[in-house]
Amino acid sequence: MKKFGFKLLGTDKKCNARVGHITTPHGKIETPVFMPVGTQGSVKALTPRDVKEAGSEIILSNAYHLYIRPGTEVIRKLGGLHKFMGWDRPILTDSGGYQVFSLSKLRKISEDGVTFNSHFDGREIHLTPEKVVEIQETLGSDIAMIFDECPAASKDKHLIEKAVNITLRWAKRAKKHHKRRSQALFGIVQGGTFLDLRKRSLEETLAIGFDGYALGGLSVGEPKPEMLKILEEILPRMPDDKPRYLMGVGTPVDFFEAIERGADMFDCVNPTRYGRNGTAFTSDGLVVVRNGKYQKDPKPIQKDCDCYACREFSRAYLRHLVNSHEILGAQLITLHNVHFFVNLVKSMREHIRKGSFLAFKKRFFNRFDPDSR
């Protein structure tokens, strides 16, 4: 079985954008890469075949949710997560730190771990850094994440520093407990918008030593300029020979800004969440297909898109499906959105190789209207 590895293939000479590839037991991944989110073992509204046809090389699933339901033992007995969900390409599992953060009214954090009541059936659950590693090893994902504390955006430096310190102590325990050699383990850098905390978190996480490094705790409510400042300062300090994962950041504009500064991996629920609610992403901006102006529109969602939805169906038909609450509407728009995100990042890779990333970014920004509907 192939082990995990990363190879940097080149950078754009005009900025920090870079291309590389990741090797995993279930195949290679070209970077930069967008990872569709399949939280509970499914990219919502899509089959694994759909996700492949959209061009996805890797998906993200969530260890916390799968532990709650159906349970890791069920998945183990049925052959592991890849076989369970019918996906034979790489999988990254998030540890559930963000989900625990979102359960702030139900959880209690201690040095040992986190105790909370399940959002599903109310039972009390206690997760430790070691337990979260064991869950992900049992699932058999290609990339596992350490268990971290992900605080909300805050100007309370003491609160953020406390989260940094406990994440670092948990990171050491996770690294020590991790035994599955074919599975990569990524560390997570926290620190909110405090640059000194981010730098210390990175330095100490690097000292522990991981297969890749993630920036967590961004896109949780902080102003965009503050997020970009953190990216500018922290991403170049990460090792060149390890993948750099920006967690939970997922608009086309965010991708350009992060990749320009040296990020390699992204995940976000936007393509599926917007798709289920009848909104499509395009190179011109958002298309809210339920709007009346699309009632007789014969055009596809995007005329230069070759996804199945754009090849076969009009905006008028999609509007009819959405307003009639037909499941097919959500499926087709979600399919388009995932295809759009995956292939936009693919185009970015091609322009990085050519040294034309910044020119491509300028053309996209001139065309893309974030306020369009």
- pLDDT single digits (tens) 26-48: 999 999 999 999 999 999 999 99
| Residue 181 sits in the same domain as residue 220 | yes
- Domain closes at, from 213, 243, 268: 268
Name the residues annotated as catalytic: 94, 267
Q: What is the pLDDT of residues 158-196, one digit of tens each?
A: 999 999 999 999 999 999 999 999 999 999 999 999 999
Phi-psi region of 319 (alpha: psi -120 to 50; beta: other; left: phi over 0): alpha
Residues 58, 61: Cα–Cα separation, whole Å? 10
Which DSSP symbol is given to 299?
A: S
pLDDT for residue 358: 98
Q: Indicate the pTM of the whole model.
A: 0.97
Q: Which of 179, 181, 130, 157 is nearest to 25 (CA)?
A: 181
Residues 128, 173: Cα–Cα separation, whole Å? 9
- Domain closes at, from 268, 288, 322: 268
Residues 81, 339: Cα–Cα separation, whole Å? 23
Name the residue range of residue 289's domain: 275-373
Based on the structure, what is the number of domains in the chain?
2
| Residue 226 sits in the same domain as residue 252 | yes
Residues 243, 5: Cα–Cα separation, whole Å? 9
Per-10-residue mean pLDDT, the chain, length 373: 91 98 98 97 98 98 96 98 98 88 76 88 92 98 96 89 97 98 97 97 98 92 92 98 95 97 97 98 97 98 97 98 98 98 98 98 96 85
CATH number of the domain where residue 95 is located: 3.20.20.105
Which residues are CB-contacts of 72 (< 8 A; sequence separation ≥ 6)? 66, 135, 138, 139
For the chain, the average pLDDT equals: 95
| Residue 262 sits in the same domain as residue 283 | no
Per-residue tokens: 62: 């969530």
Q: What value does the CA radius of gyration of the chain take, rounded to a whole number of Å?
A: 20
